[in-house]
Structure formats: C-alpha cells, structure tokens
Amino acid sequence: MRIGDAAIGEALSELKRTRAYVAAEKDLGLSALCLVGPPRMVPDWNGGNAMRWPVGLRVHREPAKAGQRDASSRWEDYKTTTGESAGRPVVTLRYVWVRTEVHAARLKTALQIRLLGADAAMRELNGNWVDLPEWESVWDLLLADAIRDIEAAGEQLETWDEESRHRMILWHARSKSRVRA
C-alpha cells in the first residue's frame, strides 16, 4: 500500500504543530539563506524590450516569508516607462538551511560575490539585486562554490535541505524526550 503525497503532507503538517517539534525547532535555531525574486521574468523598467529576472539574497527563519521582508521587497520603487508602479511581488525561489544566522550571513556574503561574478554583463541592479535570468541552472553551482570558498578559508559550514532539516528536528526532539525520561 502506497501512501499519497497528500497524506504525507498532512501528517507532516500535524507533526509540525506538536509541542516537541516546535520546541526542538526553536532549540536548534536554524536559519535559511534564501534566493528571492519575482516568480517570473519582468520587463525592463527602463523601457525597451529587455526582460530581467532580478534576484537577491535574504537570511530568514521562515523561507516562505523571506520575500515579504519589507516594503522594498516589491518592485514598487521601479516605475514603468508610463510612470506606473511595476508592483511585482517577490517570492522565495530557492533556499538552503544553515546552523545559525551568523553562518547564513557568511554564506550570503560568499554567494553574493559569486552571483556578481556570474553576472558577466555586470547587470547589478539597485541595492543588492542582480539580474540573473539563468538562476535556476546556476543556483546549485554557485552555492557549492560559495561553500567551498568559506571552507577554503578554514571554516566548516553545514547546509541542509528541507527534508534533512525535518529529520534533524525530529532527532533533536526525540533526544530531548529520552533525556527527560
């Protein structure tokens, strides 16, 4: 008998609401480094036919909310050629979990350097945004290079995907319950 994705998702959602899971998650204090940007390419706000895919990096404890960080997480500061607000929302495109906010900040710095290096046309936009239409194909490569850069400087950096993070939280919750028993 095979369990459907909906059943697994529902069971995981129920598990996340348990006190032990919430306490373990808070105890571990993991942070995510998130790649954020609009959900699809956007027209160049300076006019013309160019399309752009601006991306930026955010450190957040809840990746789904990383794009909602503040008012500047919308493209409202960029006006179209008619003077109207572009108003495109920013979403989390990809993310990776790390041990602490300090680790996430170090990884963000290393990855920002890699993002700018991948931008051969020097398409850096306002603030920390980079025009990177090929982000889907280069994210894993740039992330691996940034981690290697950090480790070459003598620091160890562990990263986790969502599934590994859940397993770690469950392990931590179980280990805490065994200590009390």
Give the number of other Cβ atoms within 10 Å of residue 66's Cβ. 24
Number of structural domains (the chain) is 1
Tell whether 146 is covered by a domain.
yes
Mapping DSSP to helix (H, G, I), strand (E, B) and coil, where does residue 99 land?
A: coil
Which residue would you say has higher pLDDT here, 174 or 145? Answer: 145
Tell whether 3 is covered by a domain.
no
Which residue would you say has higher pLDDT here, 128 or 141? Answer: 141
Share of the chain above pLDDT 90, in %: 37
Tell whether 109 is covered by a domain.
yes
Name, in order, each residue with C-beta under 8 angstroms of 107's C-beta and a sequence gap of 6 or more. Answer: 33, 96, 98, 146, 147, 150, 157, 159
Is residue 70 over pLDDT 90?
A: no
Note whether 32 and 94 are within 8 A (CB). no
Tell whether 20 is covered by a domain.
no
Overall average pLDDT of the 139-156 stretch: 94
Tell whether 106 is covered by a domain.
yes
* Residue 91 lies in domain: 30-180
99 class by beta-carbon count within 10 Å (0-12 exposed, 13-18 middle, 19+ buried): middle
Tell whether 5 is covered by a domain.
no
- Which helix (H) or strand (E) covers residue 132, if one does? none
Tell whether 96 is covered by a domain.
yes
Is residue 14 over pLDDT 90?
A: no
Tell whether 16 is covered by a domain.
no
Which residue would you say has higher pLDDT here, 85 or 19? Answer: 19
> Residues 76-102: pLDDT tens digits?
444 444 444 455 688 999 999 999 999
Measured between alpha carbons, how far is 65 from 12 in angstroms, rounded to an integer? Answer: 19
How many degrees, rounded to 5, is the angle at CA 173 between CA 167 and CA 177? 145
> Residues 100-134: pLDDT tens digits?
999 999 999 999 888 877 555 555 556 668 888 89
